[in-house]
Structure 1
Amino acid sequence: MNIGASLPPEEPATIFYIGHHETDQRHVSNEVLSQAEDLGYDFVTTSITTPTFHTAVVSLIQDYQDLLQRACSTQVPSPGPLVPPLTPQDSTLTPEDSDTSRIAIASEWIDLGSTDPVVAYVSRQVFNLEVAYAAFCGVSNVIVHGPAEGGDVVQYARAIQEALGLGPYLQLHVLMPMHGELETEYPDGRHLSEFADAVPEETLEDESEDQGEYDVWETWNTIRTLCSYSQKLSIALEVQRQLPSLDLQTRWYSEPVRLLVFPRTTFLRNAKGYPVLSKPHQQLLSQFARLRFAPWMLLSDVGTLTTTTSESARSSPEPTPAEASDKPKEKPKDPVSHLRYLRHLQQTQPSRPPIERFGQGYQDYLQSPLQPLTDNLESVTYEVFEKDPVKYEWYERAIAAALRDLKDTVQDTIPIVVAVVGAGRGPLVTRALQASQSTGITIDCWAVEKNPNAYVLLQRRNATDPLWNNSVHVEKSDMRHWPGPVLKHGLGKVDILVSELLGSFADNELSPECLDGVQNHLSDHGVSIPQSYTAHLTPIASPRLHSDLLSRGGGQEKWDIPYVVLLHQLDYLSLLPPTPSSSETRTPNVQQAWSFAHPIPHHHLSHAHLRAGGGAGAPGWVGGDGSNEHNARSCTLRFTCQKRGVCHGLAGYFETVLYAGAKAEGEKVELSTNPVTMEGKSKDMISWFPICFPLKTPVYVPEGGELVVSMWRQTDDRSVWYEWVVEVWHTVGGKKRKLGMSEMGTSRKNACLM
């Protein structure tokens, strides 16, 4: 359990940052910018260079080609045509305080990925000149059009990588459609691709045969990979009228989208003639708005700022998606109707689920897991756990069910002995006492806690809490060294052993080792709550987490830590087949890695004690004498990936059976963080975030490929750690072939100390 946030008293308001883009607007003056702000826009786009510069570059290429023809040479002379530095006539952009409200647009007529070396060379010069000058003027955000269809994506990516170093605060946003081609309109002008040599028809035919829904994403994946997942590079994603499949929408959701571009053609018209978005578009927008760093929104060619007055806009009624009338649809006179509609959506965003409100600001924030055995937790950490609206209620249900089942078994030894081991600030003690009251079954309650600071609070609660009423036996001890409950006849046994030692991957906070150490105090009929728990895995695509780790200092060690993280901006690479009743539901393929159950068979503990004394044969495989090897685990899991993608790591979850009655009709109380089963077992539980096992080198998996995950829980009797590796297999021509694999991850240097 590792959470760094507390549930806010109320959900924060949704904020939309909305900008205006006009393809015919070459330069945005301060007057136009002020007018846009009066209308309610947060930013506007502006060109970096003027048509004069475009004309000069076109003339430069024409002169160069004429030179080649006169020389009767097919070879490109060196050096190629050089674009001269910018002049005042080439750009009206100047350093302004208001440049923070401007997003610059690199010239759309360049072709950075051209297969013609001259065009590519000139385009790169133009791009570098524009980006460098924009950065000099204080414009930190620059939009650049993605590579043209049929262009050299690797060459394009190299040009982007080069430009990223032109300004320390520069952010480049690659304009790309979700699929297919852009709908964004461009001003008339001569594109440099017109000067390129013709592409062989055979090449065009080969490319057209291989068109797929994920081709645009594939292009982006190449660009960001060659740019080393730079945090200065993101996507300006055009949302088209025809949305792609839900799978592809989710893939884009996992990517670093900084701008959502809405062309005029994306909007529908309601019965009153006002622009609205379809329900699927609204859902897509709401999903992106829930991100920790929600993308800005850019309205493209929905109106002309230079002919809009704020007074006419204010006098127009505010439309809503529900508005309808018998009047024929016609374009409304309100020139900012698209903006007003998005502001309406801003005010009507659906509520976030409890786990997101609880973790507000901590989505995709990597944290090292707790080590409660070696560290004494602070009171505020305990307090965060105690805010969970589900976990402790479920624990009380489990204790009450166990009390009812044990009542007949131990009727001669009532009160029933209940020991809460690792009591913390005492929430489970309170729940045990409440379960005793609700069932009418008397208990003898013991609270065992090693943290000396929490021990002070436990004693105070025992003296001042009316429910406790000095009836709880508070013990300062590591549970593994606790001598057991002292009853009237001496040392006794525990009937119900209650603990909350589970971590994000079930066993990663050493619950098995801790409960092994206290099990000798459990009676023959004794019950452990929880009774069992299982660890679960699934491969994920999470460029954000990978980029975060790349940007951190340090070497290999940062890749060998299983991080606790509220996973949010991700894509599940392997899905379960959809059911006929829910064909659009994307259910991740989450598989069980291993399990633990308590109490364990006595002969396992006896054998462990023998090995600890060196009297049971060979030592452990990974060091020590092997006394804890009964808690080692391993698994090999296979995941079929329906769509091509990149695996950046493994998401880990757990499920636990707190208590299952001995009778067939007995109550079964379970908790789960597994996204497949959490809704049915413990909806709205917030105590645990998932765990993530990162891959230093992401692995690409083709459509229909198989990811084979191998993982080990290792121990040397003094610590516990994990090791993991991912392989990619694909069936080609009826034969299964290995395409690649990740490096071995190991958390041994960051092991959980026993």
Structure 2
Amino acid sequence: MDSENDSAELMPMFYVGHHETKRALPVSTQLVHHAQDLGYDMLTTPITNAHFHTRVLALLSSYRQAVSDAPPKQILPLPLIAALDAVDTPLTPSDTISQLVTFTSSWIDLASPDPVIAHLSRQVFNLEIAYAAFCGVVTVVVPGPALTHGANGVSQFARAIKEALSTGSYIQLHVMMPMDVTKCAEEKEDLGNLARFIQPEFVGQGQAMDIDEFGAWDAWNVIRTMSRYHSRLSVALELPRRFPSLALQARWYSEPVRLLNLPASSFLVNARGSFVLSKPHQHFIFRCMRLRSSPWLLLTDIGPIPGVNDPEMIMSYSTGHLSPETAADALGPESPTISTSPTPAEAVKIPKKSGKKTYDDPAPHLSYIRYLQRNQPIKSTLERFGGGFQDYLQSPLQPLTDNLESITYEVFEKDPIKYAWYERAVAQALQDWVAQKKSTSSDNGAVVIAVTGAGRGPLVTRALNASESTGIPVRVFAIEKNPNAYVLLQRHNMEEWSGRVTIVKTDMRAWKGPMLPDGSYGKVDIIVSELLGSFADNELSPECLDGVQHVLNPEHGISIPSSYTAHMTPISTPRIWSDLLSRSTTIDSSAFDIPWVVMLSQFDYLSISSASYASQSQSQIPKDAKMSQMKLDSPLIPNVQTAWEFSHPLPPSVLAQSALRRGGSAIGGGGGFTGGDGANEHNFRFCKLAFPIQDQGVCHGLAGYFETVLYAGSQGSVELSTNPVTMEEKSQDMISWFPIFFPLKTPIQVPAGSELEISMWRQTDDRKVWYEWLVESFVTVNNRRLRLSISDLHSSKSNGCLM
């Protein structure tokens, strides 16, 4: 069945590997090609084999015997493992080495409190990493630490990982972690696992970590923190049979997940007897596949590769062309969740099938994964527009000091919502103007409109359209300082606007207004601008509109937009923080003091609205949701709070005081608090916001958004929003603005039940505007509020927006 998204729009590819924890055959070039014929993209292989395992066990046994036979006070050196022999490993340099995902031994215990076991495990691990690097291996998967050894054990494991990253200079290390350790099936340790040979005096040594649902994530956080967010360290995430809370899913989604491990136990059996994944599994996989670096998929222990011992067997490539019945979900009102090994009660409820199967699929699990690949949900407008920009850091624009290129304007003009909403706002303003019988600033009754910062003219076109749709005459001025855009505006006026627009090349703050026949200057009835940045005011919209307000009709003048608010929330975003760390050490030492414009993709909200958090469950994904319509954003609603607001036009008294201070006269006061005369201090802002933290996490910075009221009149308000809480309601599919990100130089650990307090300042010295931000963490113990940590005071003054 072809999905409705089969179009020119490319969908993410699924790279699927076959993994056997106990692979019977060495992975030869022939086996790799055989797997590729079946439809797999890669195979896994252990770095060492059972022969090496036996050799290590024999060494441990002989060492323990030597210790028991030695005199009481004699100290024996710890056992040393001899170098690898050819019989110890199936791995060898080859042309197919890049198509292999290698695994270090699962029978070692790097976190063991027993010094002998830990010493042997480190040797095995280092030998395997060094040999894999020699063979040219790129991808190595390391089984995660045993959490039963406690925090010390995790730190010990993390140190081994950090050392391995320096041993294999080109190896990508993926630490295999369970999504939720509380949902892991209890596995009996293999008889040959070194953890079984721990000495009695070390059993239970140290306090075990709290095994809550965030236990595995907490261990991973220790590992990556000790390795300083290394770019070659990532997660191989094992998906459980039953998915955990949405909060934990969102946390793992924000991490650098490079492998998704799907063991056989993750699959259900539907009424037709086909292997399928639950809706939460599908939803999580689809979300991860939209990331800038999408993970690979490993199908684990689903059986050996078919046809290996049958050279006559014809392999059919898994294309994902499955019937809807074959791929139907196992969940439904009449069908219980059926496991691969159903209980007697479940087996009774499985509908009986008549007749023979119409086909015998040699790789049903792989075929189903290819089916999901073919039937992914269609991309949203923002995803199609922002392809390639996910988590990509961009410096905010400085339109006052820089002349933008045509391509920059063109990107904004592709927005399907923004300019349509502006046209609605102008049309409503015109209708209200006539209905309220306001006098105009022209001599012929036309409403005078000035588009300030006209760029390439999209708002000019919309203003003219609004005039035509309402039948209300207008006189339009286009004010633009960019000399290159000015040329294009003149051409538009000749070819598209029929000379109906007066083009003025000047900084809007220097414009004196429409020139009248007697040589004096008139007023403007409506000022229309699109000066907002990702945080609303970060591209100096307040300063620009203050500077042009002198031309606005003082009695009836309207500003579009009329007001805008800045909003923020703390987030966890390891990927972006890692990029900034690299940038700060190689490119720009002030990287952590810059508010970055970024299409946030791989991140997690740390503070969730109370109602959203209380109601989180898997059932929020409808059972009958079609894959092509499934929303891939998290259903948790973030706690986004308002920082401050700006409104236009300003009261004349505010501008009068500003003018009084400009120039530094005695009557204007003692000067500005941060420099200059203080003429722009009415645009200073400060906020202090508190955010409750429901689950433990790490704060890497603050996500900033804005909302704006373009016009509020008799027909209601026309509003735009990038706030994730209100964007869908106010301006869904708007793509003009990405969020802004205020980073922290040092990430702040936040425990569950704590509170983050954010202080932010909008500073100005009359020459430029900049932001300063501070984050503090608090916890309440016995009714006492204790500070846990405090960030640096970050300041973007050196990269401020020039006025």
Same fold by TM-score greater than 0.5: yes
The reply to whether residue 671 of structure 1 matches residue 672 of structure 2 is no
- Secondary structure of the residue that 1:89 maps to in structure 2? helix
Q: Could you tell me whether the CA contact under 8 Å between 1:23 and 1:186 is conserved in 2? A: no
Alpha-carbon contact 2:147-2:208 (below 8 Å) kept: no
Look up the equivalent residue of 1:261 and give its one-letter code. N
Q: Does the Cα contact within 8 Å between 2:27 and 2:90 map onto a contact in 1? A: no
Work out the CA distance in 2 between the residues paired with 1:173 and 1:609.
61
Per the alignment, residue 267 of structure 2 pairs with 267
Given candidates 330, 345, 358, the residue that maps to 2:385 is 358
Deviation at 1:314, TM superposition (A): 5.6
Matches for 1:665-704 after TM superposition, within 5 Å: 665-704=714-753
Q: After superposition, give the CA deviation of every residue in 1:586-627 in whole Å (9 maximum; x if it has no partner).
A: 110000000100011111111111111212121111111111
The residue type equivalent to 1:154 in the other structure is S
Q: Normalized against structure 1, the TM-score is what?
A: 0.94
For structure 1, which segment, 261-270 or 333-342, has the greater mean C-alpha deviation from structure 2 after superposition?
333-342
Distance between the aligned counterparts of 2:353 and 2:547, measured in 1? Answer: 78
Pick one of 591, 600, 604 that aligns with 2:641. 591
**Which secondary structure does the structure 2 equivalent of 1:150 belong to?**
helix
Asked whether 1:381 is paired with 2:412, we answer no
Give the residue type in structure 2 aligned to 1:192: L
Residue 103 (structure 1) aligns with: 101
Amino acid at match of 2:197: F
Distance 2:484 2:221 in 1: 50
Partner of 1:493: 523
CA distance in 1, matches of 2:615, 2:164: 49
Aligned residue number for residue 4 of structure 1: none
Structure 2 letter corresponding to 1:497: I
User: How many Å separate the matches in 2 of 1:352 and 1:122?
Assistant: 50
Residue 360 of structure 2 is aligned to residue 311 of structure 1: no
TM-score, normalising length: structure 2: 0.89
Q: Distance in 1 between matches of 2:238 and 2:616?
A: 28
Partner residue of 2:48?
Answer: 49
1:511/1:411 CA distance change after superposition, 3 Å: closer
Match of 2:222 in 1: 222
The answer to whether 1:565 aligns with 2:591 is: no
Once residues 123 and 328 of structure 1 are traced to their aligned partners in structure 2, the CA distance between those partners, rounded to angstroms, is: 54
2:565 is matched with which residue?
534
Structure 1's 636 and 128: CA in aligned 2 closer, same or farther, altered over 3 A? same
Corresponding residue of 1:83: 81
CA contact 2:452–2:478 (8 Å) conserved in 1: yes
CA distance in 2, matches of 1:731, 1:188: 45
| Structure 2 residues without counterparts, runs of 5 or longer | 1-6, 329-350, 621-634
CA-to-partner distance for each residue in 1:272-328, whole Å, 9 max, x for gaps?
211001111111111111111110000001121264566254699954553377418
User: What is the aligned partner in structure 2 of residue 3 from structure 1?
Assistant: none
The residue correspondences of 1:505-544 to structure 2 (distance < 5 A) are: 505-524=535-554, 525-544=556-575
What does residue 484 of structure 1 align with?
A: 513
SS in structure 1 of the partner of residue 395 of structure 2: coil
Contact 2:441/2:448 (<8 A) preserved = no
Which range is displaced more, 575-584 or 42-51? Answer: 575-584
Match of residue 302 from structure 1:
302
Residue identity matched to 2:34: Q
Mapping of residues 288-437 of structure 1, within 5 Å? 288-305=288-305, 307-308=307-308, 311=314, 313=316, 319-320=322-323, 322-323=325-326, 326-327=352-353, 333-407=360-434, 408-410=437-439, 413=442, 414-437=445-468
Task: Return the alpha-carbon distance in structure 1 between the equivalents of residues 705 and 320 of structure 2.
Answer: 49
Cα offset, 1:255, TM superposition:
0.6
Give the aligned length: 738
In the alignment, does 2:118 pair up with 1:120? yes
Deviation at residue 51 of structure 1 after TM alignment? 1.2
**Conserved in 2, the CA contact under 8 Å of 1:143 and 1:174?**
yes
Greater alpha carbon shift after TM alignment, 291-300 vs 610-619: 610-619
Do 1:184 and 1:300's aligned partners in 2 also have CA atoms closer than 8 Å?
Answer: no
Aligned residue in 2 for 1:194: 196
Q: What do the CA deviations read for 1:132-178 (whole angstroms, capped 9, x no partner)?
A: 11111111100010001322000000000000112222100001111
Residue 440 of structure 1: aligned partner = 471
Question: Do the aligned partners of 1:320 and 1:341 also contact (CA within 8 Å) in 2?
Answer: no
- 3-state SS in 2 of match to 1:578: helix
Q: Quick one: which amino acid aligns to residue 704 of structure 2?
A: G
> Are residues 1:602 and 2:602 paired?
no
- Code of the residue aligned with 1:597 in structure 2: it is S
Report the equivalent of 1:651. Answer: 703
Give 2:796's aligned amino acid: S
Work out the CA distance in 2 between the residues paired with 1:401 and 1:439: 9
CA distance in 2, matches of 1:184, 1:339: 26
Q: Percent identity?
A: 55
1:114, 1:455 → 2: CA distance? 71
Shift of the alpha carbon at 1:207? 3.4
Contact 1:176 1:182 in 2 (8 A): no
Q: 2:486 aligns with which of 437, 446, 455?
A: 455
How many Å separate the matches in 1 of 2:546 and 2:124? 68
Relative to structure 1, the CA distance from residue 424 to residue 621 in structure 2 (aligned partners, 3 Å threshold; closer, same or farther) is same
Alpha carbons of 1:435 and 1:375: their partners in 2 closer, same or farther (altered >3 Å)?
A: same
The question of whether the paired residues in 2 share the 8 Å contact of 1:270 and 1:321 is answered with no
Deviations 1:689-738 (A, max 9, x none): 00000111000111010000000000111010001111000011221100
Q: Write out per-residue CA displacement over residues 40-97 of structure 1, whole angstroms, 9 at most, x where no aligned residue.
A: 000010011121111111112222222222224488644x212211111111211111
SS for the counterpart of 2:544 is: helix
Which secondary structure does the structure 2 equivalent of 1:311 belong to? Answer: coil
Aligned 8 A contact 2:534 2:738 in 1: yes
- Written as runs of structure 1 = structure 2, the 5 A alignment for 1:4-15 is 10-15=8-13
Q: 1:520 to 1:417 in 2, by over 3 A?
A: same
Residue 5 of structure 1: aligned partner: none
Aligned to 1:577: 610
Mark the CA change 1:575 to 1:379 in structure 2 (over 3 Å): closer, same or farther: same
Q: 1:720 and 1:629 mapped to 2: Cα distance?
A: 10
The worse-fitting range, judged by mean Cα deviation, of 651-660 and 306-315 is 306-315
Counterpart amino acid of residue 322 in structure 1: E
Distance 1:345 1:62 in 2: 49
Change (3 A) 1:89 1:163: same
Task: Tell me by how many angstroms 1:751 deviates.
Answer: 0.5
Match of 1:475 among 501, 504, 524: 504
CA distance in structure 2 between the aligned counterparts of 1:405 and 1:14, rounded to whole angstroms: 49
Give, in whole Å, the separation in 2 of the partners of 1:720 and 1:555.
20
Question: Would you say the 8 A contact 1:24–1:187 is kept in 2?
Answer: no
Contact (CA 8 Å) 2:102, 2:140: kept in 1 or not?
Answer: yes
Specify every segment of 5 or more residues in structure 1 that has no aligned partner in the other structure, as ranges.
1-8
Do structure 1's residue 545 and structure 2's residue 561 form an aligned pair? no
Letter in 1 for 2:37: D
Contact 1:276 1:321 in 2 (8 A): no
Contact 1:46 1:104 in 2 (8 A): yes
Distance 1:612 1:650 in 2: 34
- In structure 2, do the counterparts of structure 1 residues 329 and 178 end up closer, same or farther at CA, with 3 Å as the change threshold? farther
Residue of structure 2 equivalent to 1:6: none
- The one-letter amino acid of 1:511's match is S
Query: What is the DSSP-based 3-state SS (H/G/I as helix, E as strand, rest coil) of the residue aligned with 1:548?
Result: helix
